[in-house]
Amino acid sequence: MEWLAALTAGGLAGIGMWLLLDRNLIRVVLGVAILGNAINLGVLTSGRFSGSEAAFVTATSVPPDPANPLPQALVLTAIVIGFGLFAFALAVLKSVRESHGITTTDRVTEVTEQEAPDDEEVGLQVHQDDADRHHDYEEVKR
Amino acid sequence: MSALVVSPVVIPLVTMLIGVVLRPYHQQVKVVSVIGAIALVLVGLRLVGLAADDVVLSAQLGGWQAPYGITVVIDRLSAAMVAITGIIGLATVMYGLVRESNPDVLRNFHVFVHGLLAGVCGAFITADVFNLYVWFEVLLIGSFALIALGGGRRRLAGTMTYLVLNLLATLVFLLSAGLVYSSTGTLNMGELGLIFRAGEAPPAATMAVVLMLLSFAIKAALFPVFGWLPASYHVAWTPVSALFAGLLTKVGVYAMIRLVTLMWPEYGYVHEVLLWVACATMLVGVLGAAAQNEIRRILSFHIVSQVGYMILGLALASPLAIAGAVFYLIHHIVVKANLFFIGGIAARMTGSERLAAMGGLYAKAPWLAILFAIPALSLAGIPPLSGFWAKFVLVKASLADGFWWAAGVALLTGIFTLLSMSKIWNETFLKAHPKGEQAIHDDGNLRWGWWAVSGLAALTVLIGLGAGPVMEYAVAAAGQLAAPTTYFDAVTHPGGR
C-alpha cells in the first residue's frame, strides 16, 4: 500500500511543481494547492498503513490492530490550514486579476518593481482625508 | 508556573480575540491592542529575568508526557526572543495609532498584528517540530493579511509573490516534518537531538533535517533563496513592513539556530555549507542594496545581508560565535524595525520614498536625522553602538577558528553597509528637497510613531553601552544551546525529575 501512496504523492508533487513554474497566475495557485495535497498524502504515508482499525483506545479496551493515529492528526491539521490558505490565495488572485488586470507572473514582477508612488500612505487615504478635512474647513469659513 | 510558560502565546491570542469582538468600537480596539502589547513586553521581561537566573521553564501541554505530548521550553534564547517580539509588537502597535480616515483598515491591523505575534512567540517557545510548523502557519496567515492591508495594485502584486513563495517554503517544511517522523518515529526536538547527537540518525533523517533547513533558509532569506523578500517587503504599509523586517526572517534564523545547535553541536559538513551560504548572503544582500533607489528597498536588501551575519555565527559553531549570533539577533531586530519606521516617517514628511524625490529633512527635522543616525550607524557597526559589538564578536570568532576570509567578508559588508546608509543620509537628510522646503510637512499625526522610534533608538544605545551584561547573557544562552539539558530531560525524565 505504501508504494502506491508514495507514487501518487510523487506524481501529484510533480504536477504541482509543473503548474507552479507556469506563467499563468491561476495555474501557479493551483500548483500550490496540488503540491500541498501531495505533501499531505506524503505525511500520511510516513506513518505507514499497518493498522486496519481506528485507534479508539478506551479505559477497558485497545483495538487489536490499531492504525497509527499521529500522522492522521498531523495531516488533519495540515489540511485545515492548507484549505484556509488556499482560500486566501484565491481571494488575492481574484483581486489581482479582476481589479488590477494582472494575469501573469511576469506582470506581477513588473508591477512590484515599479517606482513607489509618491504619497504612498494614500493607500490608507490618510493624506486624502486631511485634504478633505481642509476642504470642509474652508467651506465652513466661507 | 505553567501559566507563565504559555502566556507569550495566550496574551496575543486573547488580545486578538477581544479585538475581533470589539470590531465596531475602534478606539477601544486600540486601547486593548496597546494593553496586550504591553502585557507581552512585561511577560517577556519577566521570562528574561527568570532565564538570567538560569531558570529554564518547560511544560507538557495537555498533560501528555513527551514524546507524545507537545513540549514547550523557554530557555535564555527563547526568553530573549519573546521579550524582543513584545517590544517590536508594542512599537508597531504604537505606530499604528496614527489618526485614521479609513478605520476598517487600521482596526483590522491591530487584530492581525496580534495574530502574527502569537505565531512568532509560539515558534520561539515550542520544542516540537510539527508544532513549529503550526506556529509558522499562524504567523504566515497573519502576515498575508497584513501585507495586503490597504490594497492597491502594487501592494497586491507584492502580496502574490510573498504568498506563493512563503506557501512553498511552508510546504517544504511540512514535507520534511513528515519525513523526519517517518525515519525517526518522533517529532520531539529533544528526542531528535538525542538521536542525532548519539550518531544513530538514519541517512533519511539527516536528509529530512537538511530539507527542513532549506525551508528555514527560504524563511530567513538566505542566498540563493532570498528573492521573495526584496520583491515584497517594500510594498506593505510602513508599520507592517517594519514588523516583518524585525521579526519574520528572524523566526527562520531562530529555527535554524535551534535545530542545528541541537543536532550538530560540533563543526561539520552542514556548518561548512552554512558558512559559504552566510558569506554569499552578506555580500549579495549588500551589493543588491547598492543598486536600489528607494529607501525601503535599500533596507530590504540589508535585511538579507544582515541575516548572513547571524548564520555566520551559527556556522562557525564555536561557543563565542553562537553567542555572537544570539547577540546579533537581539541587536538586529531592534535596529532593523526602527530603520523601517524612520524610513516611513521620512517618506511621509517628504511625500515620497524615492531617494531622488526626498530631501531637506536635516534642516527641517533634526531630531529625525539623529534618530536615523543611531540605528543606521549601529547597522554598519560603528562603536559604541550595539552593531559594533555584534560584528566585533563574530569577526573575532571567525579569526579564532582560522576563517580569515569569512572575517574579511564580514568587514567588507560592514563598509558597504556604511556606504548605503550614507547614501540614504545624503539623499534624504542633507540634500535640499527638490520641491523646496515648503513641500515637507510635519502633520503631527505620527505622535505615537515618534515615541516608538525614540524608544527603539534608546534601546539600541542601551544595548551598545550595556554590551557587557547583554553579551554575558548571550554567552550563557550559547552554553544552554550547546547543552540543552531541559530538552533532553523532557524526554528522558517525563514528569520531571
Closest Cα partner for B112 from B98, B92, B131, B91? Answer: B92
pLDDT of A123 above 50: no
Find the closest chain A residue to B295 by CA distance: A116
Closest Cα partner for B397 from B467, B321, B473? Answer: B321
| Residues 58-97 (B) with a CB less than 8 A from some CB of A | none
Residue type, B68: Y
| Residues 275-304 (B) with a CB less than 8 A from some CB of A | 294, 296
Q: Residue B305 — φ and ψ, nearest 5°?
A: -65, -35
Q: How far apart are CA B257 and CA B315, in angstroms?
A: 9
Cell digits for B108? Answer: 483590522
- Percent of chain A whose predicted confidence (pLDDT) is above 70: 82
Predicted pLDDT of residue A126: 42
Predicted pLDDT of residue B105: 65
Contact present, B89 and B37 (Cβ < 8 Å): yes
Q: CB–CB of A85 and B167 under 8 A?
A: yes
| Residues 228-267 (B) with a CB less than 8 A from some CB of A | 231-232, 234-235, 237-238
Range list of β-strands (E), B8-112? 57-61, 70-74
Q: What are the sequence ranges of the domains in chain A?
A: 2-103
Give every CB contact of residue A77 below 8 A, 6+ residues apart in sequence: B130, B134
Q: How far apart are CA B85 and CA B390, in angstroms?
A: 19
For residue B296, the tally of other CB atoms under 10 A from its CB is 24
Considering Cα of B216, then B222, then B223, then B228, what sign does the dihedral take? Answer: positive
Best mutation site among A124, A128, A132 for testing chain B: the one with the most B CBs within 10 Å? A124
Side-chain-facing half-sphere of A27: CA atoms under 13 Å: 11
Residue type, A122: V
Burial of residue A130, with CB atoms counted within 10 A of its CB: 0-12 exposed, 13-18 middle, 19 or more buried: middle
- Residue whose grid cell is 568587514: B411
Q: Assess A112–B contact: CB distance below 8 Å, yes or no.
A: yes
Taking CA B163 as the corner, what is the angle to CA B157 and CA B167, rounded to the nearest 5 degrees?
Answer: 160
Measured between beta carbons, the chain B residues lying within 8 angstroms of A126 are 98-102, 445
Contact present, B236 and B290 (Cβ < 8 Å): no
- Residue whose grid cell is 508612488: A117
Q: How far apart are CA B442 and CA B348, in angstroms?
A: 8
Predicted pLDDT of residue B405: 92
Cell digits for A52? Answer: 486496519
Q: Assess A104–B contact: CB distance below 8 Å, yes or no.
A: no
Residue-by-residue pLDDT tens, chain B, 497 positions: 578 888 999 999 999 999 999 888 878 888 999 999 999 999 999 999 998 888 888 888 777 776 677 888 888 999 999 999 999 999 999 988 876 666 666 768 889 999 999 999 999 999 889 999 999 999 999 999 999 887 788 888 889 999 999 999 999 999 999 999 989 888 888 889 989 988 888 999 999 999 999 999 999 999 889 989 988 888 888 889 999 999 999 999 999 999 999 999 888 889 999 999 999 999 999 999 988 888 889 999 999 999 999 999 999 989 999 999 999 999 999 999 999 999 988 888 888 888 888 888 888 888 889 999 999 999 988 888 888 999 999 999 999 988 999 999 999 999 999 999 999 998 888 888 888 777 787 767 788 888 899 999 999 999 989 888 999 999 999 988 888 887 888 767 655 54
Predicted pLDDT of residue B366: 87
Smallest CA–CA distance, residue A142 to chain B, in Å, is 24
The domain A2-103: what is its CATH number?
1.10.287
Measured between beta carbons, the chain A residues lying within 8 angstroms of B160 are 25, 92-93, 96, 102, 108
Query: How confident is residue A99, by pLDDT bands cut at 50, 70 and 90?
Result: confident
Give every CB contact of residue B267 below 8 A, 6+ residues apart in sequence: B316, B317, B318, B401
Strands B57-61, B70-74: pairing kind:
antiparallel
- Angle, in degrees to the nearest 10, between helices B447-465 and B386-400: 40
Contact present, A86 and A36 (Cβ < 8 Å): yes
Cell digits for A22? Answer: 507556469
Best mutation site among A57, A112, A122 for testing chain B: the one with the most B CBs within 10 Å? A112
Q: How far apart are CA B471 and CA B324, in angstroms?
A: 8
| Residues 94-133 (B) with a CB less than 8 A from some CB of A | 98-102, 105-106, 130, 133
Predicted pLDDT of residue A135: 46
pLDDT 10s digits, A37-80: 999 999 988 877 777 777 777 778 888 787 888 888 889 999 99
Q: How far apart are CA B450 and CA B368, in angstroms?
A: 9
Closest Cα partner for B184 from B197, B172, B171? Answer: B197
Mean pLDDT across A83-103: 88
Q: Residue B344 — φ and ψ, nearest 5°?
A: -65, -45
In chain B, count H helices and then E strands: 20, 2
For residue B426, the tally of other CB atoms under 10 A from its CB is 13
Measured between beta carbons, the chain A residues lying within 8 angstroms of B443 are 130
Predicted pLDDT of residue B282: 93
Q: What is the DSSP letter of A115?
A: P
Measured between beta carbons, the chain B residues lying within 8 angstroms of A42 are 175, 178-179
| Residues 155-194 (B) with a CB less than 8 A from some CB of A | 155-161, 163-164, 167-168, 171, 174-175, 177-179, 181-182
pTM: 0.91
